[in-house]
Amino acid sequence: MKGGWIAAWCGLRAVARAMHSHKKTRMIHTIAPPRRLRGDISLPGDKSISHRAVLLNAVATGTAEITNFLAGADCLSTIACVQALGVRVERHEDAVCVYGAGLRGLREPVDVLNCGNSGTTLRLLAGMLAGQEGMFSVLTGDASLRSRPQQRIVAPLRALGASLDGRDQGNRAPLAVRGAHLHGGVYELPIASAQVKSALLLAALFGDGTLTLTGRTDGRDHTERMLAAMGATIMVDGSAIHLTPPDCPDALQPLSLQVPGDPSSAAFWWVAAAIHPDAEITTTGVCLNPTRTGALDALRDMGAQIAVTNQRVEGGEPVGDVAVRSSRLHGIVIEGALIPRLIDELPVLALAAACAEGETTIRDAHELRVKETDRIATVASGLTALGAAVEPADDGMIIAGGGNLRGAMLDSHGDHRLAMTWAIAGLVAAGETVVHGAEAVDVSYPEFWNVLRRIRE
Ligand code: S3P
């Protein structure tokens, strides 16, 4: 394919350009501030729930139908890996049918399992595969995923009897997993990571004896909810989680569900509406699980005008519609127990802080350093390029606020949440904002650029 301009949003003053570097097409989008933002947005399915719906139903006995499945690159990696393990999965747009193979039905993969950019795929699968006695598998991913730390799952899985290894003493993928006989035990989670918590729970499904998790179990709880709904013996008692492995291979019932909308994707529209001077946006069917609503709490705290309506339960999760209007934001402190509840939304919340009056401090967020990029470094440098005063710290950043952003040339660095954050910045920054690596949105929100075009007036 030739390089050059491949798309132009003429009236919108936004353009996309495709270039080629090695195998991947690099897209460029140029955004200028619109007069108004208006619209109702029905969201793509939640990424964390979509992954888990495929992984857990793969080892259930029977067929599950998942609707509003997120057909982003990360969740498609999960489907491909599960298929490589011998499980039949069919996809028709955003509906997915998983023909569960039962707890003993996975087959040894004939090749390396490629998790792409997805930490959730790699870490949850590592847990699941650790207990497949006699099975050998290798998990890898793209350059970003291969650079991310895996000791956080490798060490506790080894403590349960797992045999795992990888580069850098087992800390980096590719990870080799030789399925072993696992035992239960007690493990105190040192960081609030739902991926680590879930990897251990999935491993324990295939082991002997109860696993008890204590410590920082406060990450998102979709795995616990789904396991309970599928009939697993799981008990949550304050901050302790106990999982007793089923004693027969067909113990897990399939779980059909409609995946609720992803609050991490909705957050881009919430911030867009709050920082734009003439905006009103409603996101419908948002997952309002309390382990995921930190961004709403932080935005409310900053003075955002937010209305939550139509609250209901869907797919075992609380769901509602969230409307946000143009608001006068002020700076706040984001720290402590709030951090795991908004960890993925911090890039776009940092943008909101740059548009707020007064200083915002983000702390206790070391985890940002080991996401798809080092999001303290990448967010601070992007916001600085937009004219904001940002002081990065070890575990967060201080953002001076005050608005007056000016358009800049920004890069996603292959990080989906950065690509979307810079696009939202372009809605308020004077002049034009150019986002390089715009295709990164495909990881979690393939429709993002189309929705952005639709809500501009
Ligand atoms: C996820 C957990 C979080 C989050 C990631 C998805 C999950 O990561 O940042 O995007 O689906 O379990 P950690 O477990 O590393 O906090």
Mean pLDDT by 10 residues, the chain (457 residues): 30 37 78 98 98 98 98 98 98 96 98 98 98 98 98 98 98 98 98 98 97 98 98 97 96 98 98 98 98 98 98 94 98 98 98 98 98 98 98 98 96 98 98 98 98 97
Among residues 271, 288, 287, 284, the alpha carbon closest in space to that of 325 is found at 271
Distance 36 CA to ligand 1 centre (A): 34
Ligand 1 pocket, CB under 6 A? 48, 120, 193-195, 198, 219-220, 343-344, 367
Query: Cβ-count burial of 238 within 10 angstroms (0-12 exposed, 13-18 middle, 19+ buried)?
Result: exposed
For the chain, the 3-state helix, strand and coil shares in percent, each to the nearest 5, are 35, 30, 35
CB atoms within 10 A of CB 436: 19
The pLDDT score that the predictor gives to residue 23 is 54
CB atoms within 10 A of CB 56: 28
- Indicate whether 103 and 194 sit together in one domain: yes
Distance 120 CA to ligand 1 centre (A): 6
Q: At a CB cut-off of 8 Å and minimum separation 6, what does 304 contact?
A: 270, 274, 324, 327, 329, 352
- Indicate whether 229 and 336 sit together in one domain: no
Q: Last residue of a domain, which of 194, 211, 243?
A: 243
Whether residue 364 is contained in a domain is answered as yes
8 A C-beta contact, residue 420 and residue 268: yes
Whether residue 407 is contained in a domain is answered as yes
CB atoms within 10 A of CB 441: 27
Q: At a CB cut-off of 8 Å and minimum separation 6, what does 59 contact?
A: 100, 101, 102, 103, 105, 106, 128, 205, 252
- Indicate whether 170 and 106 sit together in one domain: yes
CB atoms within 10 A of CB 24: 12
- Indicate whether 304 and 443 sit together in one domain: yes
Report the C-alpha gap between 285 and 320 in whole angstroms.
5
Distance 350 CA to ligand 1 centre (A): 19
8 A C-beta contact, residue 85 and residue 98: no
Whether residue 172 is contained in a domain is answered as yes
Count how many domains the chain has: 2
- Indicate whether 234 and 325 sit together in one domain: no
Report the C-alpha gap between 79 and 93 in whole angstroms.
13
Whether residue 338 is contained in a domain is answered as yes
Whether residue 23 is contained in a domain is answered as no
- Active site residue ranges: 344
Report the C-alpha gap between 81 and 121 in whole angstroms.
8
- Indicate whether 229 and 334 sit together in one domain: no
- Indicate whether 273 and 420 sit together in one domain: yes
Residue 446 backbone class (left: φ over 0; alpha: ψ -120 to 50; beta: rest): alpha
Amino acid of residue 48: S
Model confidence, pTM: 0.95
Whether residue 281 is contained in a domain is answered as yes
CATH number for the domain that contains residue 175: 3.65.10.10
**Residue-number span of the structural domain to which 274 is assigned:** 28-44+260-455
- Indicate whether 295 and 393 sit together in one domain: yes
- Indicate whether 76 and 198 sit together in one domain: yes
Whether residue 35 is contained in a domain is answered as yes
- Indicate whether 220 and 105 sit together in one domain: yes
Show the DSSP H helices in 175-276 as ranges: 194-205, 222-229, 263-275
The pLDDT score that the predictor gives to residue 302 is 98
Q: Last residue of a domain, which of 181, 208, 243?
A: 243
Whether residue 253 is contained in a domain is answered as no
- Indicate whether 174 and 268 sit together in one domain: no
- Indicate whether 173 and 288 sit together in one domain: no
8 A C-beta contact, residue 164 and residue 175: yes
Q: Last residue of a domain, which of 183, 213, 243?
A: 243
Q: Whose CA is nearest to atom 16 of ligand 1?
A: 193
